[in-house]
Amino acid sequence: MTKTLSRSIALSLTTLAAAALLVAAAPAPDPADPHLDLEQIEGAGPIATVKQWNAATAKALTSQPRFAAYRKRAEALLEDDAQIAEPDRVIGDRVLNVWHDAKNPRGLWRVASLDSFAAGKPDWTVLIDIDALGRSEGKSWVWHGVTCRTPAYDRCIVALADGGTDAVVQREFDVGSKSFVGGGFVVPQAKSSVAWADPDALYLATDYGDDSMTTSGYPRRLKLWRRGTPLASARQLAEIGASDVELSISSIIDGASAYPVATREIDTYRHEISHVASDGRLVRSPLPLDGNLLDIIDGRAVAQLNSAWRGMPAGSLVAYRVADVLAGTAPAIEQVMVPTKSQSIEEVAAGRSVLWVKLLDDVSGKLISLARGPDGRWAQTAAPLPANATVHLDAAAGVRDTAFVTVQGMLLPPTLYAVTPGSAPRQVQALPARFDASKMRVEQRFATSKDGTRIPYFLVRRIDSKGPVPTLVHAYGGFRAAQTPTYLLSEPYRAGPTGLFWVEEGNAYVLANIRGGSEYGPAWHDATVREKHQNAFDDFYAVAEDLVRTGVTTKGRIAASGRSNGGLLVSAAMTQRPDLYGAIVMGSPLADMKRYSQLLAGASWMGEYGDPAKPEDWAFIRLYSPYQALKPGVRYPAPFIYTSTKDDRVHPGHARKFAARLQDLGSPFYYYEALEGGHAAGADRREDAYRAALITTYLDTVLGTEKAAARSPN
């Protein structure tokens, strides 16, 4: 560990005592992998180890002076009734929303009329109290969405996960009576997808037993299930290979029409899209394997290209008539929109006659509407929303040309607008300021990566900050997931208000737009795929080094933060550049890249990373795989590692084995594994608040900011 880290840990005898627990005797070694036993998710031995690590971390951090205040304030911020009621979707002339607050940590599923919602005075009716349902049924239900039948929207298939896993139970719900349908459709717990075929039948991809799941753990068979018949008798419509990722079904609503779409995921980024005919036939879309079908408007499917096709560049939007495909006629392909070099199309939603497009322009959010003229050309109109902000396209009303969008920035509280072409955006709801932003400033900067690429990042700190100060840098760097700045009390992702507390105390927070996301279109992601993944790491280091060069911070006073693929990023940073970082916040991480493809959903990501079972792929993966990269005799920063036992996407064994390897080396670490929460690492906002308090206290401890903490408002 660095000298700075040694000094800060030495500040507390309690912390030292707990650290000693974390470097206790390791499990008995195995010649191939001494910690394979930790991959037993619910195994008695691994759970006992996890509980020991959790207890040591709690002893080290919850006894610190600021922990209780952090936790109390985090709960108040995350569970405050002053929240934006963002529309989850618009169904006909109604708006659906799931509401969370202190009294309802798991949420209320509710509905309001479209008119009342758009006017900012929603007349909510609660359909399901998820907390009460869980108590009555003895389950830890976490909401996972809903699929309603059109055009009446009177029945819905509700997805609930016990403990927050990706695997869900799906049950038929009657909206009018606000109750589950007795004798209705029930899909047992599984990773599954569903769409209505007609009022009394479902298209269903689920676990049918008998080798019906892929090696990635997702369905490989699509069937038509009729009401009143056993699931075992459902008629099979399609089947994919076991080595494919998944066969899924969804339904795209266009006015009063529903268009079922089946998708065969070949690997992470290649898929066959098929439209489902009324007789159950699957008819292939003309799109290339890397094209993404986004929505349907006036019978035209709108898709985005991820590589050049038919003379249209990567990143473009195209359209074709679904009726032509179903009729067996080669459809005409229309060019809808071509983004500029600085732009990236992020979200698309269809209204009644306009297509809404949210895009990034140098990572700043913009909203435009596209209308198709009689000549087949699509005309653009920009919506006059606040500049230099993050825009999220929440939903579009298919029965009218209205879109609901949320606009926010690190210091700009979220505001929900109703936007209609040709009219000024109408404010529906605005979140009041939750902290004093007048004492802070945000700036966008650019670093230069190892290969000369210009990497943007956002820096927020107090106006009176005079560097160098401890700095928290958060990033993701993969899977085309752009990172845009949101209101500071929710940054970094899934760490609650840690970013806010950190800045208030006089430190700096950075959101880095490293390659791997989609900030500048498909090429920004393609630069990190497979053997090029080191580029994401190099971008991350370039941002940290730019912060040092410009006097914001110094080496050893930088905390690297990332979750999921971002957890891989920061664990690689810890092993590749231990000189640069003094703290590592490692959430739900991938760490053992030798075995990732054999753990839970890992096989579905080989398009991103490569296949470690192939020697030619392992040759480049092994160069950064964090678990294998940990070596004796190296002073690593003590990381804060967090995950969830119920994470059925990224196996908790990654986090456990990385911690165990540190234990072998006598290198201190902090570990917290929530028993529930799935890949989100927390089942509700109280859990998020607890984790935020742990992380903030950890940062105070290892980066030595106790004096700065005394200036906090609480």
Query: Is 142 within 8 Å of 686 (Cβ atoms)?
Result: no
d(CA 77, CA 504): 15
**Pair of tokens at residue 76:** 């108040």
- Alpha helix segments (H runs only) across 474-625: 498-504, 522-526, 534-549, 565-576, 606-609, 615-621
Expressed in angstroms, the distance from the first to the final Cα of the chain is 31
Choose the catalytic residue: 140, 490, 561, 564.
564
In this structure, is the dihedral angle defined by the CA atoms of residues 487, 491, 496 and 500, taken in order, positive or negative? negative
- Residue 143's H or E segment, with its range, is strand 141-148
In this structure, is the dihedral angle defined by the CA atoms of residues 110, 115, 118 and 121, taken in order, positive or negative? negative
Buried b (16+ CB within 10 A) or exposed e, 447-472: bebeeebebbbbbbbbeebeebbbbb
With tokens 């000369």, the residue in question is: 452
Q: What angle do CA 409, 412, 416 make, to 5 degrees?
A: 85
DSSP string, 380-401: EEE--PPSSSEEEEEEEETTTT
With tokens 């500049």, the residue in question is: 387
Determine if the peptide bond prior to 468 is cis (ω within 30°): yes
Note if 564 is an active site residue: yes
d(CA 692, CA 696): 6
Q: CB burial class (10 A; 0-12, 13-18, 19+) of residue 366?
A: middle
Note if 278 is an active site residue: no
Buried b (16+ CB within 10 A) or exposed e, 100-109: beeebbbbbb
Residues tagged active-site: 564, 679
